[in-house]
Structure 1
Amino acid sequence: MNTEQPGLRERKKQETRNALSWATIRLVVERGLDAVRVEDIAAEVGVSPRTFNNYFASKGEAIAARHQERARQIAVELRARPEAEPLWEAITHAVLARFGLAEGTGEREPAQQWLDGVRLMVSEPALQGELRKAVAAAEAEFAAAVAERTGTDVERDLYPKLVAAAVGAAMTTAIGHWLHASEPVPMAPLLRDALHQLATGLPTP
C-alpha cells in the first residue's frame, strides 16, 4: 500500500525539476549550449534522459525555468502579504523576499548559480524565445495575484496587467543595471528604487 502523501510526491517532483534546471545552467556555463546533451544533464542529476524530457522540452526551457519559478514565487509571496498592507509596499516586500533580500536576511547578494542563469538568458540568442515565454507566464501569474489583492478583474481590467508588466520591467531594468554596473553595487537598493519610482508614478528626475 502506498502511504506517500501527494504533497510529498509533488515536493520530490519539484526538487527533481529544480535539480535538472540548475544542472543545465551549470553545464552550459562550463561547456556552452551546443556542447551539452540532455544525456549529460540527466547523468549530472542521476536520472534518465527520459526523466529530463518529462520535465522540459529543451535545454532552453530548463534554463528559463529558474527565472519563471522565481517570478512565480513572487506572486505566491504577494498573496501571503497582510491584506491591510498598501499594494506597492506589499509588492516591494514580495520581490525582495523572493530574491533573498528582505530586511532581516542580511540582504545578501543573489547566488552565483542564479546570476549565471541570468547571464545565459540575456546573452545567448538561442534562449531568447524561452526567456520571453517565461516572462509572459510569470507576468500572467503576477497579474492574477494583483487582481485578487485589488478586487479587479484580470481579464477585463487593465490595472493588474499593467502592474505586472511594470513590475517585471522594473526587475529586469534593476537586474540589468546590477549586472553591467562599472563598479559593484548591491541589488536590494536598486530593486527598492525601481519599485519606489513606479509606486510614485515615475516622476521626472
Structure 2
Amino acid sequence: MSATTSEPEPGLRERKKAATRQALHEASLRLAFEHGPDRITVEAIADEAGVSRRTFSNYFANKEEALFYGDLQRMRLLAGMVRERPASEPPWAALSGAAESFYRRLGDLDPEWIARSRMVRRHPSLAAAQVQTFAALEREISAAVAARVGPGDPFGVRGQLIAATFLAVLRVSLNVWLERRPEISFWDLARDSLAEAGRGFA
C-alpha cells in the first residue's frame, strides 16, 4: 500500500459527534436484535441512546440509516484502501488487493455481525436499505477505478462494470458463506471468487 498523508486528529466537537452517531447505531442494533427491526421506532432508538428525537434526525434520516451505519463505515474504509493502492496496479488487481488488506485487517467475522447479516436477509425493507448502502460504495469504487482506466473509458462504463462486479462478488460470496458455512474462511471463499471473476477484466 502506498504511503498517504496522515490526516489531522479530529477536534473535540467532531469526536463528540462521532460518539453520538456510534451510540445511536449501537442502540438501533440492540433494539433490532431484541424486538425485530420492524418493531422499533426512531423514538425508541433515541430513548435507548439517551438523546432527543431531534438529535437523532441530525445524524440519521431514518432507522435504516442508523442500523447500517457500521456497514457504511467499513465500506468507506474499503474504498479508501482501493484509492491507496499503487497507481501502477490494474483496476481488478487493485480492488482484489484492497479487499484482502481490508478483510485481513477486519479479522474473523464476529457473531453479532453475522447475526445482523442474517437478520437483513429476513426483512425485505432492510435488504432494500442495504442495497442503497452498497450503491453509495459503488459510486466511490467506480470513481477510484475510473482513475486507473483512464481515457480508454470516456463514458465510465468499464469503470462502473468493474466496480459493480467486484461488489457483487463480495456480496454473493458472503451470502453463500452465511448460508452454507463451508469449512473455509469467508475471505478464502471471496478470494477464489474474485480470482474467477477477475479473469474477464485481465
Q: Same fold (TM over 0.5)?
A: yes
Matched, 1:67 2:71: yes
Q: Which residue of 1 aligns with 2:17?
A: 13
The verdict on how the C-alpha distance between 1:66 and 1:153 changes in structure 2, with shifts beyond 3 A counting, is farther
The verdict on how the C-alpha distance between 1:71 and 1:124 changes in structure 2, with shifts beyond 3 A counting, is same
- How many angstroms apart in 2 are the aligned matches of 1:31 and 1:69? 25
The verdict on how the C-alpha distance between 1:50 and 1:77 changes in structure 2, with shifts beyond 3 A counting, is same
**Off by >4 Å, runs of 4+ in structure 1:** 152-155
Q: Which residue of 2 aligns with 1:179?
A: 178
The verdict on how the C-alpha distance between 1:81 and 1:183 changes in structure 2, with shifts beyond 3 A counting, is closer
Q: Which residue of 2 aligns with 1:161?
A: 160
Shift of 1:44: 3.4
Unaligned runs of 5+ in 1: none
Give the RMSD, CA atoms, in angstroms. Answer: 2.6
- Counting only pairs closer than 5 Å after superposition, residues 36-115 of structure 1 correspond to structure 2 as 36-98=40-102, 101-102=103-104, 108-115=107-114
Please report the TM-score for the alignment, with normalisation by the length of structure 2: 0.81
What letter matches 1:171 in structure 2?
L
Aligned-partner SS, 2:68: helix
- How many angstroms apart in 2 are the aligned matches of 1:120 and 1:96? 26
The verdict on how the C-alpha distance between 1:191 and 1:33 changes in structure 2, with shifts beyond 3 A counting, is same
- How many angstroms apart in 2 are the aligned matches of 1:133 and 1:85? 29
Unaligned runs of 5+ in 2: 1-7
Deviations along 1:104-157, one digit per CA (max 9) or x if unpaired, are x5x831122322332222221222331222121111111011112332588712
- How many angstroms apart in 2 are the aligned matches of 1:38 and 1:74? 29
The verdict on how the C-alpha distance between 1:125 and 1:147 changes in structure 2, with shifts beyond 3 A counting, is same
Q: Aligned residue pairs: how many? A: 193
Work out the percentage of aligned pairs sharing the same amino acid. 36
Name the stretch that deviates more: 75-84 or 37-46: 37-46
- How many angstroms apart in 1 are the aligned matches of 2:198 and 2:19? 35
Please report the TM-score for the alignment, with normalisation by the length of structure 1: 0.80
